[in-house]
């Protein structure tokens, strides 16, 4: 996939301002789209949009295909007649610049349940038909997801592989009994998915009509405690007796951690997936393309070879590389779905084989400016070493903000950067990096909103390998000023990135 020259902003929807303690798909999401248009941007990149569990990580979702109910806008539910203004009268005082997930869940779920009850009691025939059509169209993942979530609500044990054996192993009699017993909860979880996708589709249409295209994020792995692993255990490397991960995903020691990163997700049984003609992966890509325009594949290198860590290990050090059938997978998806609009996250330990897989399918790779100044002129992240078919970032969700990075950079890195730039901008190091990204030959430049706002480490989205305190940052509504939009558009125009991309 070759993109025309353009730029965009990386921002997860949880970061929007909102009176409900977490960003949602309401008015501030539309205001952000307007800001993108006014500033000459053409792309909005988001993190995975699935329902999150422990740690609130969008990369550890209860489903690879479902949406996060916490992103549903209660105000839009009110506009639909499913809630009343008085339902918002006793909202707690939420933090303005961070998400308190526990507080958000405690206040938002009652609103969602009330709107579900009102829908069930008062839905018009047209609404009932739309809901029924949604449930039928999405049944290939929705039925398992809704039952899984209903069971999680009802079971005392938190993880599916610790449930009663009959339901953990999906015995038909136990499944039928659960569907009968949990009918109300199943309806609720289907309803929240219906509302999420209805609201998201409206927002995406609004964006597309204004020339803004959405880049979604697909993690290579899914959470062990997910509807996907529970419903399809045969395609994962699990202990057949206990359901625990026999081989766990992660990466070896790298820039972020001297002991590597042990993610804990079960790795795939690629042999079984091949025998099934990669059906689950085809469905996953098809579901994703229903609600985004371009897919960024997180940890792309895992499709060529993946780091597998044996059960029982506490760090990722004692893993090994195992080959994966990435070429056959992408050929199959291409055959079934057509040419894929895919970006490849090719950071970390990248081999010639990984690059060959990426280039065979013309997937643009990633360049990160924060990695550019720690070595010599051969550093692949220096702008003069870029290919045009690439995406350049000032930093990613796993990096510190550019201002935070600069304050913690070594004197040697700072000196290298100064020599490269000639002088530092009086507007701040973040604008130096924004200029470097926009002026590079890479076809696409993406700027995290934190860098556009010149924020420090306090606005960092994620600290890899840190279990808590991530994914919480939010911006204030006044941050998206007319002055900021004009300044960004001036640079975007100067460096030839104001265009109408063809997808």
C-alpha angle 295-460-112 in degrees, rounded to nearest 5:
65
Q: Which residue among 28, 217, 345, 451 is the active-site one?
A: 345
Q: Which residue among 24, 144, 269, 398 is the active-site one?
A: 398
DSSP string across 11-57: --GGGS--TTSS--SSHHHHHHHHHHHHTT--EEE----SPB-GGG-
**217 assigned to active site:** no
Which residue in 81, 87, 66, 80 sits closest to 20, CA to CA? Answer: 87
Strand boundaries in 234-338, DSSP class E: 247-251, 261-266, 294-298, 305-310, 320-323
| Residue 113: count of CB within 10 angstroms of its CB | 14
Structure tokens at 350: 């990248």
Which residue in 313, 231, 306, 317 sits closest to 270, CA to CA? Answer: 306
Which residue in 397, 394, 299 sits closest to 11, CA to CA? Answer: 397
Structure tokens at 351: 């081999």
Q: What sign for the dihedral angle of Cα 77, 80, 81, 84?
A: positive
Q: Which residue among 298, 346, 400, 451 is the active-site one?
A: 298
**345 assigned to active site:** yes
Provide the residue count of the chain: 503
Specify the DSSP class assigned to residue 458.
G
**468 assigned to active site:** no
How crowded is the C-beta side of 175, counted as CA atoms within 13 Å?
12
| d(C-alpha 6, C-alpha 93), whole Å | 40
How crowded is the C-beta side of 412, counted as CA atoms within 13 Å?
4
Catalytic residue list: 298, 345, 398
């Amino acid at each position: 996939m070759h993109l025309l020259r353009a730029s965009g902003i990386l921002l997860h929807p949880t970061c929007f301002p909102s009176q409900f303690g977490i960003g949602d798909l309401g008015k501030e999401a539309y205001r952000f789209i307007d800001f993108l248009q006014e500033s000459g941007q053409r792309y909005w990149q988001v993190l995975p949009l699935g329902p999150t569990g422990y740690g609130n990580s969008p990369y550890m979702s209860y489903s690879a295909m479902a949406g996060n109910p916490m992103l549903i806008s209660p105000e839009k539910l009110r506009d639909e007649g499913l809630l009343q203004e008085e339902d918002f009268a006793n909202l707690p005082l939420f933090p303005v610049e961070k998400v308190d997930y526990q507080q958000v869940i405690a206040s938002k779920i009652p609103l969602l349940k009330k709107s579900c009850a009102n829908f069930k009691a008062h839905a018009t025939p047209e609404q009932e038909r739309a809901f029924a059509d949604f449930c039928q169209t999405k049944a290939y993942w929705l039925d398992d997801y809704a039952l899984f979530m209903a069971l999680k609500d009802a079971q005392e044990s938190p993880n599916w592989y610790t449930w009663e054996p009959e339901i953990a192993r999906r015995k038909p009699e136990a499944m039928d009994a659960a569907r009968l017993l949990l009918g109300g909860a199943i309806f609720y979880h289907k309803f929240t998915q219906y509302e999420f996708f209805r609201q998201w589709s409206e927002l995406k249409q609004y964006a597309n009509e204004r020339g803004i295209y959405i880049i979604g994020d697909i993690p290579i792995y899914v959470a062990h405690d997910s509807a996907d692993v529970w419903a399809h255990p045969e395609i994962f490397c699990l202990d057949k007796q206990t359901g625990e991960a026999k081989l766990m995903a992660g990466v070896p020691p790298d820039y972020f951690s001297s002991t590597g990163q042990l993610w804990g997700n079960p790795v795939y049984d690629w042999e079984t997936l091949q025998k099934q003609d990669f059906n689950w992966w085809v469905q996953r890509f098809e579901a994703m393309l229903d609600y985004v325009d371009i897919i960024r594949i997180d940890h792309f290198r895992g499709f060529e070879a993946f780091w597998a860590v044996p059960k029982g290990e506490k760090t990722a050090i004692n893993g090994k590389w195992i080959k994966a059938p990435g070429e056959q997978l992408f050929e199959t998806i291409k055959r079934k779905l057509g040419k894929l609009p895919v970006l490849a996250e090719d950071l970390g330990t990248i081999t010639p084989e990984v690059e060959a897989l990426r280039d065979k399918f013309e997937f643009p790779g990633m360049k990160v400016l924060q990695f550019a100044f720690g070595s010599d002129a051969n550093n692949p992240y220096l702008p003069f070493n870029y290919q045009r078919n690439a995406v350049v970032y000032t930093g990613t969700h796993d990096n510190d903000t550019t201002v935070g990075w600069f304050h913690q950079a070594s004197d040697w890195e700072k000196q290298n950067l100064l020599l490269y730039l000639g002088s530092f901008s009086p507007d701040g190091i973040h604008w130096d990096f924004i200029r470097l990204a926009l002026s590079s030959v890479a076809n696409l430049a993406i700027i995290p909103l934190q860098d556009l706002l010149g924020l420090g480490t306090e606005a960092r989205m994620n600290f890899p390998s840190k279990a808590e305190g991530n994914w919480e940052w939010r911006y204030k509504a006044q941050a998206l000023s007319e002055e900021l939009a004009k300044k960004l558009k001036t640079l975007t125009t100067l460096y030839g990135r104001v265009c109408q991309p063809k997808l």
